């Protein structure tokens, strides 16, 4: 809408409060008139019905004649979908603008920081909350912004004496009830603006904005807004919170710098200025999209009516059993039996055969069709949600083999693929926003606990400048096989067989976590060092060679420096590179380094020494036949001294032949 040919979001500061309140009111009225508010209320009530009803059976009907019970398959199925989606912890993969050493080093720092915020700052909890809200309401939202009052104290303002903090990231979940937007659009892509409604402590706001403390003190409490968040039961009493409305508008031709405005009501403006973020700091998850609408869709909407029918039938059975479960006795009129004569047990009862004997009156029998229909409805819920009996831990009797169970469970995972993709996109958006906000606002050095080799923690100091080359974060959801026990064992055994796992510590880490960081971290550091050396040599610097280098890898990677015609026409560069390569070869071929190289898993080069010189006195040649016989020439007359071989004896005379 325009006002006096002026875009509402470009209103002056004294008018923007009224415009924001009008947009919030229009959005809430649309939720009410379109029936979506009632849908949200029913979804919330059935999801938390056990709590709302006091976790007990209840009485209903005009005279309390019915006993009601809630058998909450609805929440169980949605939680299974949530668990199947979020059970694999994501692996963030920051992307840099270039592939040089500095860019690659920044990706490692960014990856560690994302793990730090995921673990220490509980970002993972906010992500899972968004998934649960998406399954319940069709959408879940996360706001990721910079909080100047958070972080460690690093100074004092000399003028006011106030403490100066580092600032830090802040994450908040929102349901679609609290995210006003342009509902006239026909899809959820590229919203120009969001207005978020949240409750914040009045006294914290007074301390944060001392100039407005008098106005903040007089503003209405959240307790006075009976219709705020109308899906919840009960009324806020004596709350210290007040409602805060935050407008975030993206830059556009009508508002070139964008806008961020925070108000308590139309005349209390806490903050107003251009949008300080690269994108709108509001990120959305939707299991499915409702076509031609800005709203999301969830399979939970399909389950509510079925859950209502299941509760009704279970309540029918319970009412019948609880009402008539106590034994009743039918006795003919005119009987001579008293109540005391048939009470208790082991009684001898006499009765008049003409009048008949007392008999039990069984009214507890429930038609079998009710139980059959309950079973059909429960199976219908599994069919609609895609969460089959195997995923719920209650496989059918016909599924006996492991392969059949695995096939059925994989079908449940495939059914929720759209939800998993939306989950991955939310992780990427929040991860990218985290890095971008740290780049832009983390000007003061800060320390984060980064997981190092074998998951050992190390302290890392950084500023936003240390992340200035990161432009995008992607998410690897990982192989589901690596999350199972058998998959971890198989992964560890394969790495061990291929020589990639070198120590027991690495093997145990892979076996227990299914992650490869303990194995690849050393190799990754070596490759980064090689890349840094290549850059330094390209700049004309001489790089030292260490005996502990992976020499063959260094040689293979360093040769890439000269793999261009320009480099080969640079004599100085050629000399630097070839001298560096000769140093690697010298260390590999030096016999003094043999034992160390073998311990490092490297193969020393064999030395190419010349053949050894022959000794001065050569051995005698092989003796001749005459020397073996030790004879002289028989012509000279010394035939008697010739040693002839033994001849056979004459058996008659005993003499040699």
Write the pLDDT tens digit of every residue in 138-165.
999 999 999 988 878 777 777 767 777 8
From CA 582, how far away is CA 559, in angstroms rounded? 12
User: 168-174 and 288-289 as β-strands: parallel, antiparallel, unpaired?
Assistant: unpaired
Question: Above 60 in pLDDT, residue 201?
Answer: yes
H or E element at residue 78: helix 73-86
CA triple 133-27-257, angle to 5 deg: 90
Residues 6+ apart with CB under 8 A from 457: 449, 450, 451
- DSSP letter at 277? S
| Whole-number pLDDT of residue 184 | 93
pLDDT above 70 covers a percentage of the chain that reads 75
Question: Above 80 in pLDDT, residue 459?
Answer: no
Mean pLDDT of 219-230: 72
pLDDT per residue over 64-105, tens digit each?
878 888 899 999 999 988 988 887 777 787 887 776 667 777
Question: Above 60 in pLDDT, residue 486?
Answer: no
* Cα separations in angstroms, 331 against 5, 328, 351, 352: 89, 10, 10, 11
Answer whether residue 224 is part of any domain: no
Answer whether residue 630 is part of any domain: no
Question: Above 70 in pLDDT, residue 170?
Answer: yes
From CA 252, how far away is CA 640, in angstroms rounded? 129
pLDDT per residue over 42-67, tens digit each?
999 999 988 888 888 888 888 887 88
| Whole-number pLDDT of residue 642 | 46
From CA 317, how far away is CA 71, in angstroms rounded? 12
H or E element at residue 399: none
Which pair of tokens denotes residue 555?
A: 């040689």
Answer whether residue 545 is part of any domain: yes
Answer whether residue 355 is part of any domain: no
pLDDT band for position 437 (50/70/90)?
very high
Answer whether residue 576 is part of any domain: yes
Mean pLDDT of the chain, nearest integer:
79
| DSSP character string of 452-465 | -GGG-EEEEEE-GG
Question: Above 50 in pLDDT, residue 456?
Answer: no
Give the pTM. 0.71
From CA 349, how far away is CA 341, in angstroms rounded? 7
- Domain encompassing residue 559: 516-599
* 302 CA to centre of own chain: 27
* Cα separations in angstroms, 26 against 159, 181, 365, 390: 44, 10, 54, 46
| Whole-number pLDDT of residue 364 | 76
H or E element at residue 629: helix 625-629
pLDDT above 90 covers a percentage of the chain that reads 34
Q: Are 318 and 58 in contact (CB under 8 A)?
A: no
Answer whether residue 572 is part of any domain: yes
126-130, 361-365, 409-413, range with greatest mean pLDDT: 126-130
Which pair of tokens denotes residue 108?
A: 């490692």
* 115 CA to centre of own chain: 10
Length of the chain: 657
Answer whether residue 580 is part of any domain: yes
Answer whether residue 634 is part of any domain: no
Tally the C-alpha atoms within 13 A of residue 504's C-alpha that lie toward its C-beta: 0
Which pair of tokens denotes residue 369?
A: 């069709």
| Whole-number pLDDT of residue 639 | 44
From CA 45, how far away is CA 147, in angstroms rounded? 34
| Whole-number pLDDT of residue 307 | 93
Question: Above 50 in pLDDT, residue 312?
Answer: yes
Question: Above 50 in pLDDT, residue 299?
Answer: yes
**Number of domains making up the chain:** 1
- DSSP letter at 210? G
pLDDT per residue over 544-594, tens digit each?
999 989 999 899 988 988 888 888 888 898 999 999 999 999 999 988 888
| Whole-number pLDDT of residue 150 | 84
From CA 10, how far away is CA 6, in angstroms rounded? 7
Alpha helices, DSSP H only, in 498-612?
Answer: 504-513, 517-538, 551-558, 565-568, 571-589, 594-599
Which pair of tokens denotes residue 145?
A: 């912004």
SS3 230: coil
């Amino acid at each position: 809408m325009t006002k006096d040919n002026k875009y509402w979001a470009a209103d002056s500061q004294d008018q923007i409060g009224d415009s924001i309140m009008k947009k919030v009111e229009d959005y809430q009225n649309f939720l009410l008139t379109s029936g979506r508010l009632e849908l949200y209320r029913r979804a919330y009530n059935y999801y938390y019905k056990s709590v709302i009803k006091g976790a007990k059976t209840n009485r209903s009907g005009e005279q309390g004649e019915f006993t009601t019970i809630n058998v909450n398959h609805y929440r169980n199925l949605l939680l299974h979908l949530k668990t199947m989606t979020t059970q694999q912890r994501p692996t963030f993969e920051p992307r840099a603008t270039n592939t040089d050493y500095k860019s690659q080093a920044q990706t490692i720092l960014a990856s560690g920081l994302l793990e730090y915020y995921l673990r220490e700052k509980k970002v993972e909890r906010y992500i899972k909350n968004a998934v649960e809200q998406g399954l319940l309401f069709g959408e879940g939202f996360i706001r990721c912004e910079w909080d100047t009052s958070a972080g460690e104290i690093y100074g004092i303002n000399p003028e006011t004496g106030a403490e100066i903090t580092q600032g830090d990231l802040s994450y908040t979940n929102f349901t679609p009830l609290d995210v006003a937007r342009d509902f006239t659009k026909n899809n959820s892509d590229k919203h120009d603006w969001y207005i978020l409604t949240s409750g914040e402590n009045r006294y914290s706001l007074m301390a944060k904005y001392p100039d407005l403390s008098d106005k903040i003190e007089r503003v209405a409490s959240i307790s006075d807004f009976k219709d705020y968040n109308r899906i919840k039961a009960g009324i806020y009493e004596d709350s210290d919170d007040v409602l805060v409305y935050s407008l975030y508008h993206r830059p556009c031709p009508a508002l070139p710098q964008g806008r961020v405005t925070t108000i308590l009501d139309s005349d209390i403006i806490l903050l107003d200025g251009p949008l300080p973020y690269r994108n709108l700091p509001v990120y959305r998850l939707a299991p499915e999209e409702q076509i031609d609408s800005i709203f999301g869709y969830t399979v939970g909407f399909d389950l509510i009516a079925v859950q209502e029918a299941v509760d009704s039938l279970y309540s029918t059975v319970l009412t019948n059993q609880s009402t008539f479960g106590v034994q009743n006795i039918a006795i003919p009129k005119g009987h001579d039996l008293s109540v005391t004569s048939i009470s208790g047990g082991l009684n001898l009862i006499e009765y008049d055969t003409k009048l008949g004997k007392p008999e039990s009156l069984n009214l507890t029998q429930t038609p079998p069709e009710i139980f059959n229909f309950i079973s059909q409805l429960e199976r219908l819920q599994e069919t609609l949600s895609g969460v089959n009996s195997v995923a719920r831990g209650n496989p059918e009797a016909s599924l006996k083999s492991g392969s059949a169970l695995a096939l059925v469970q994989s079908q449940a995972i495939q059914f929720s693929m759209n939800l998993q993709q939306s989950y991955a996109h939310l992780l990427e958006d929040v991860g990218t926003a985290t890095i971008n906000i740290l780049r832009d606002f983390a000007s003061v050095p800060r320390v984060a606990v980064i997981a190092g080799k074998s998951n050992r923690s190390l302290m890392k100091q950084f500023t936003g400048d240390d992340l200035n080359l990161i432009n995008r974060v992607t998410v690897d959801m990982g192989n589901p096989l690596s999350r199972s026990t058998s998959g971890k064992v198989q992964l560890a055994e394969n790495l061990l067989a291929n020589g990639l796992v070198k120590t027991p510590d690495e093997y145990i880490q892979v076996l227990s976590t299914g992650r490869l960081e303990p194995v690849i971290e050393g190799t990754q550091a070596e490759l980064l060092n090689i890349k840094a050396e290549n850059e330094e040599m390209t700049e004309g610097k001489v790089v030292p060679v260490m005996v502990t280098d992976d020499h063959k890898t260094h040689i293979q990677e360093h040769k890439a420096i000269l793999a261009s015609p320009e480099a080969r026409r640079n004599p100085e560069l050629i000399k630097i590179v070839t001298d560096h390569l000769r140093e690697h070869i010298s260390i590999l071929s030096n016999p003094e380094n043999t034992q160390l190289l073998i311990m490092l898993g490297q193969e020393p080069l064999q030395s190419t020494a010349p053949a050894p010189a022959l000794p001065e006195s050569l051995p005698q040649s092989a003796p001749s036949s005459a020397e073996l016989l030790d004879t002289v020439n028989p012509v000279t007359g010394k035939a008697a001294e010739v040693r002839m071989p033994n001849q056979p004896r004459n058996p008659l005379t005993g003499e040699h032949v």
